[in-house]
Chain A
């Protein structure tokens, strides 16, 4: 926390206490209670009810699908993120500010709009629709579409972590490596990547959490046919809509656990590489 103004405060202590209480009350009310509700409802029918819901084949298939989608999105995001960070952090060129702004767009666009855009392009009535049908490629209402929607919403995560990190680290070590005779790939593999490992891990962590939990975009793109094209997030809704409350919350509890694990890992990483980057100042 550093040195705070240490002047004597009359009644300051009391105000402080009041504020702490108010803040904590708000947080408990707004943040903690919903979280507890998830677990309370999931176990409303006891452990057996919980396990029945989790081990249901539809649920298991949803888990599998979620993992596949997230895994593919992860690989794509890492490759894209590294390329984007390298290009944008190490070089200056006309149009760079525009690209940087575009990179942030998926964050401020509604996930529904994201899904909509993909449907309008790759759907049957979309621009590429006829071409895709002719080649018997299904994107919308199928796995590729869900992957694409997930990629859309998670695209910036890795890049946004890496760009400030790379700018802060500077290119001197890479220049030194080149001068010592390394080829481009040698430089990238031996110097650039090792320096980025914590930032990369952090970006991957955030990206993955978002990928597994994405709802709106994937919902629009997948058409919601239960059992066939449902990720865990969608399964939550499907179960809830069909009044299988315990089932819905059971799946939700898994996602909530994932969120908690992500938060813990994120905090640990922040402390770890807080000393070597300022990325976390604006990250959340």
Chain B
């Protein structure tokens, strides 16, 4: 019986610092949702308020329709995993996991045998059965986090909250644990809320992402939605690198490169209000959507060609604008791109927003698709 969470107009300030500003959100039952954002965005504050570790200045938190703010955290049925595990150092792994069951009031407390069996089941679930009598100090970071998770699950919560659970771990362990959490969620389908500042982690693990900045929600959506249809430039740039090309909107919603008159891309939404007004926009193009082709007198000058893992990264300059293009490493030779040489640029796919300082009503984005180039 997992929980579905409704947040209405939540606000919280610390002194003069506004951590949350009138945040409203719906979290459907059974989903793994990531609260993503830079530090100071309010995501941890939001998580702690939902958990009951903090009280908001205004607003409501409803779990399955019931107002939870007045209730003490222990009555919320919420499981919490801390960034630094918060395991009870003077208790063994088994005792840690059993804790939530042992402190239940007499009437609700399971028998010792039941507790033992539950602990064993949970330890098997996190694949650490052999560590039951060890102390936290004897465990690695990844193991500790799994124990913390088992401990939180022991009380059969309706909601699982994780505060940057992999933040204190090495990259490799982080990825392993992330994948493992994903599988775990598949099996249990408890509504889970994960706070992270790592966009890759959010994109990989979550069913849904809530991107926050400066106490407000920037966008909510699936990873695909956020990546391909960002609502604001902030969202776009937070989720990955992007080239910024200053353009003007021309006939038929085409994006025309400022200063050269080259048509870079054609709009997908010709009826978009922006498309008609000849507005100044910034066209954001991801490095792997930017195509550079050698051209003797082209406007682009290649400044650097580097290997970055499985990709080749090509840095270039055009009219004072820095560009980065990414291509699979094996295509670098065939592309003919070399440092110091000239090239022209093509856009495969991009998103445009009204340029800063330009006055425009509400809607600020449309998509452009460039000329398709045969692979």
A and B touch in the complex (CB under 8 A): yes
Write the residues of chain A forming the contact surface with B, with a CB cutoff of 8 angstroms: 172-173, 175-183, 186, 190-191, 194-195
- A183 to B51 alpha-carbon distance, docked (Å): 16
Q: Which of B45-104 contact A (CB under 8 A)?
A: 51-53, 72-74, 78-80, 82, 84, 86-90, 99-100, 103-104
Give the distance in Å from the alpha carbon of A186 to the alpha carbon of B82 in the complex.
Answer: 20
CA distance A251 to B99 in the complex (A): 51
Closest 6 CB pairs of A and B: A180-B100, A172-B86, A182-B103, A176-B86, A181-B74, A194-B90
Cα–Cα distance between A194 and B80 once the two chains are bound (Å): 22
From A195, which residue of chain B is reached at the shortest CB distance?
B90
In the complex, the answer to whether B51 meets A179 with C-beta atoms within 8 Å is: yes
Q: Number of B residues contacting the other chain (C-beta, 8 Å)?
A: 24
- B88–A178 CB distance below 8 A: no
Q: Specify which chain B residues have a CB less than 8 angstroms from the CB of A172 in the assembled complex.
A: 82, 84, 86
Tell me the dominant secondary structure on chain A's binding face: helix
What residue of chain A has the Cβ atom nearest to residue B103's Cβ?
A182
Decide if B90 touches A175 in the complex (CB within 8 Å). no
Q: Are B99 and A175 in contact (CB under 8 A)?
A: no
15 A-B residue pairs with Cβ-Cβ distance under 8 Å, sorted by A, are A175-B53, A176-B88, A178-B73, A178-B74, A179-B73, A179-B79, A179-B80, A180-B99, A180-B100, A180-B151, A180-B154, A181-B103, A181-B104, A182-B103, A195-B90
CB distance from B100 to the nearest CB of A (A): 4
Q: How many angstroms between the C-alpha atoms of A183 and B155 in the bound complex?
A: 15
Q: How far is the CB of B72 from chain A (nearest CB, A)?
A: 8
Q: Which of A173, A176, A183 contacts B80 (CB 8 A)?
A: A176
Which chain B residues border A190 with CB–CB below 8 Å? Answer: 88, 99, 103
Q: Which chain A residues border B52 with CB–CB below 8 Å?
A: 179
Q: What residue of chain B has the Cβ atom nearest to residue A169's Cβ?
A: B89
CA distance A177 to B100 in the complex (A): 7
Task: Quote the shortest CB–CB distance from A188 to chain B (angstroms).
Answer: 12
Q: What chain A residues lie within 8 Å of B84 (beta carbons)?
A: 172
Q: Find B88's partner among A179, A183, A186, A191 (CB 8 Å cutoff).
A: A191
- The residue on A at minimum CB distance from B81 is A176
A-side contacts of B86, CB under 8 Å: 172-173, 175-176
A177 with B78: CB separation less than 8 A: no
* Residues in chain B near residue A181, CB distance under 8 A: 74, 100, 103-104, 155
Kindly report which residue of chain B lies nearest to residue A191, judged by CB atoms: B88
- Known contacts being A182-B74, A195-B90, is A177 close to B99, with CB within 8 Å? yes
A183 near B103 (CB under 8 angstroms)? yes
Q: Are A180 and B89 in contact (CB under 8 A)?
A: no
Across the interface, name the chain B residue whose C-beta is closest to A193. B90
A242 to B370, CA, bound (A): 109
Q: How far apart are the CA atoms of A180 and B53 in the complex, in Å?
A: 12
Q: Which of B116-168 contact A (CB under 8 A)?
A: 151-152, 154-155
12 further A-B contacts with Cβ under 8 Å, apart from A173-B87, A178-B72, are A172-B86, A173-B86, A176-B80, A179-B52, A179-B78, A179-B79, A180-B151, A180-B152, A180-B154, A181-B104, A181-B155, A182-B103
Closest to A181 in B: B74
In the bound assembly, the distance between CA atoms of A177 and B154 in angstroms comes to 13
> How far, in whole Å, are A194 and B135 apart by their CA atoms in the complex?
14
CB distance from A94 to the nearest CB of B (A): 14
Contact indicator A176/B74 (Cβ below 8 Å): no
Central interface residue in A175, A176, A178, A180, by most chain B CB within 10 Å = A180
Q: Collect the chain A residues with CB atoms within 8 Å of residue B104's CB.
A: 181
Residues of A within 8 A of B74 (CB): 178-183
Q: Which residues in B have their C-beta under 8 angstroms from that of A182?
A: 74, 99-100, 103
| Contact among A177, A179, A183, A195 with B53 in the assembled complex (CB-CB below 8 Å) | A179
Instruction: Give the CA-CA distance A183 to B79 in the complex, in Å.
Output: 16
How long is the Cα–Cα vector from A178 to B99 in the complex, in angstroms? 11
Bound Cα distance from A182 to B78, whole angstroms: 13
A181-B74, A182-B74, A182-B103 are contacts. A173–B88 as well, Cβ < 8 Å?
yes
Which residues of chain B have C-beta atoms less than 8 A from A175's C-beta? 53, 80, 82, 86
- A65–B103 Cα distance when bound, in Å, is 42
Q: Please, how many angstroms separate the alpha-carbon atoms of A179 and B72 in the complex?
A: 9
Rounded to whole Å, the gap between the CB of B302 and the closest CB of chain A is: 50
Name A186's closest neighbour in chain B (CB-CB): B103
